[in-house]
Structure 1
Amino acid sequence: MIRFSRWRGWGERVTLAVTEYDALRDAERIVRDIVIESEAACNPQRGDAEIHAVNLAQGIPVQVSPRLSVLLRSALWAARMTGGVVDPLSADDSDLDEDSTAPIHPLPTYLDVQLDGETVLTPYGVSLDISETAKADTVDRAAAAVARDLECGVLVRMGETMATAGNCPAGGWQIDLPGGGTVELPAGAAMSTRTAGDSAESLWREVTVIAADAVWADAACATALRRGLGAMRWLEQYGLPARLFDENGHIHTTATWSNPRAA
């Protein structure tokens, strides 16, 4: 029997589902604590967030908490895997105004951010905003913690990004898809959906990706939206089950989408 709990956390709708009837209360406590810890580490909208110490350092190494170190590592990994499409650098600091003069020296990129254990060094003039990848990492970590500590099957979802861990319920995790339809999400897999938005110039209106973890699923969605015609080839290159809606409402799927367990 699957039990559910829903609440708002870090500006998102959080959904928790567990396969053991008596595990829900403890599972919710675990997930809430992890969401709170992650938000305190890197939510730039919070004045007391730890990430501000990194952004204010301006070229000076900073010792950070183990949790922020993990979140930064995930963000840098996503940046490398997507060729910088998922960028941990704040857009306000990495983008030039149209009328500004090109700098003599190249602008810093995510490749210039150094992370050694729990010591972070960012170039002068750089600010980090890792909120998107941090939320996905939080989903992964929360699902793994519940499955490990309570020995039950679990699904954790924040917004449109989710991860499962532990044993599947009878019939599997049946997930409703945006725009209609369902997909069975295997245990130990993750799924994310991103939309382009009304004002975005993208061939794709919506992208859903299944991957081994939520960080990769979310990063792949963001990359597919930016890659236009090259999105399908890029997704196929990594063997990712994906469903894409184009601007005319037509559905396109990768070869592995028909068999999501391939994730």
Structure 2
Amino acid sequence: MTSYPHEATFTALGMQCQIITTRPQDLLAAVDEALEELSRLAAVISFDDRRSEVSRLSRLASFAEVTAPASALLLDYLGAALWAADLTEGLVSPSDGVWRGIELGDGTVKLPRGTILDLSETAPSHAADLLARRLHADSGGGFLVRIGDAVAVAGDSPEGGWEIPVTAPGGRTLQVVSTRFAAVSKAEDDLRADQPHPIWTQVTVAAPTALEARAWAAASQTKGELAPAWLTNHGVTARLERRTGTTRYTAGWPQADLSAA
């Protein structure tokens, strides 16, 4: 990204993160709050940690349907993941095949038998959205929050907007877009076993929230050749990098200012 005078980078959730502020006095407190929140989140959703809620609930659901207590944090992030699943008709899901059977209650969650929860697809983008809005509400300043490939903004932006580079997997900048209100997220080719020859090396989407942008971008990898028409039909602004080296655009991308996206 463009270098701003009031920014910090750090690692959380195993990802590179960044916070940029419009006012220097807001930066240190914002980083402290982000690190604390993301540390709490990691303890809840990390599947590799057997003590986490996600791991514990997945073990409980291994052999039978289960209704179990769940923290407000888990319910929030699981609710976001289920919203993304509904948006993409299950192409982005917190649990393959059984997401429609997951039910959120008042402090509880019901999981069908065989549910294995995985919030890694949506949690970073949802966290970016929440942190950007919370930091702005706390101080009144302008914030850009990036967690991995998800970028969310809130409050006032610098003159000309926040400049966000679209980069190739190797780090080369392909394009720089400017946004005042829209969030941006990217999904890269992950060479999954069920899709040995993905068409798109990456899909970058602009949307009202980073969660929505991530959902469309990740689902587009599964859609393959149908992705541009599918995104266009839903009015989604996107840039798709084809493995052959060509690029497809939808719904107005590229443009100098994504503030209306």
* TM-score (ref. length: structure 2): 0.89
For 1:124 and 1:33, locate their aligned partners in 2 and report how far apart those are by CA, in whole Å.
33
Q: CA deviation at 1:37?
A: 1.6
The alignment status of 1:255 with 2:251, answered yes or no, reads yes
Residue pairs, 1:134-173, within 5 angstroms: 134-173=123-162
- Is 1:190 matched up with 2:183? yes
Alignment partners' CA distance in 1, 2:59 and 2:202: 36
- Distance between the aligned counterparts of 1:175 and 1:227, measured in 2? 26
- Tell me, yes or no, if the aligned pair for 1:143 and 1:154 is still in contact at 8 Å: yes
- Structure 1, unmatched stretches of 5+, are 95-107
Q: Is the 8 A contact 1:113 1:122 kept in 2?
A: yes
Task: Output the CA distance in 2 between the equivalents of 1:167 and 1:238.
Answer: 28
Aligned length, in residue pairs: 245
The aligned amino acid for 2:28 is R
TM-aligned CA deviation for residue 258 of structure 1? 3.2
In angstroms, what is the RMSD of aligned CA positions? Answer: 1.6
CA distance in structure 2 between the aligned counterparts of 1:46 and 1:34, rounded to whole angstroms: 17
For 2:189 and 2:80, locate their aligned partners in 1 and report how far apart those are by CA, in whole Å. 23
Alignment-derived partner of residue 176 in structure 1: 165
SS at match of 1:26: helix
1:34 alignment partner in structure 2:
37
SS at match of 2:55: helix
One-letter identity of the residue aligned with 1:77: W
Q: Distance in 2 between matches of 1:117 and 1:207?
A: 36
Structure 2 CA distance for aligned equivalents of residues 204 and 60 of structure 1: 38
- 1:198 is displaced (CA, Å) by 5.5
Aligned with residue 203 of structure 1, among 185, 199, 211: 199
Hey, what's the Cα distance between the residues in 2 that align with 1:257 and 1:2? 28
Deviation at 1:169, TM superposition (A): 1.0
Please name the residue that 1:233 is paired with.
Answer: 229
Is residue 2:23 matched to residue 1:23? no
Q: Percent identity, please.
A: 29
- Answering whether residue 121 of structure 2 is matched by residue 132 of structure 1, we say yes
Q: Please give the secondary structure, in 1, of the residue aligned with 2:31.
A: helix
8 Å CA contact 1:256–1:262 kept in 2: the answer is: no
- State the SS of the aligned residue for 2:79: helix
TM-score, normalised with respect to structure 1: 0.88
SS of residue paired to 2:177: strand
> Is the Cα–Cα contact under 8 Å of residues 240 and 249 in structure 2 kept in the other structure?
yes
Opposite residue 221 of structure 1, the aligned amino acid is A
Give a deviation string over 1:79-132, Cα, whole Å, max 9, x none: 11111111211xxxx5xxxxxxxxxxxxx5211111123310101222111122
Residue 262 of structure 1: how far off its partner (Å): 2.8
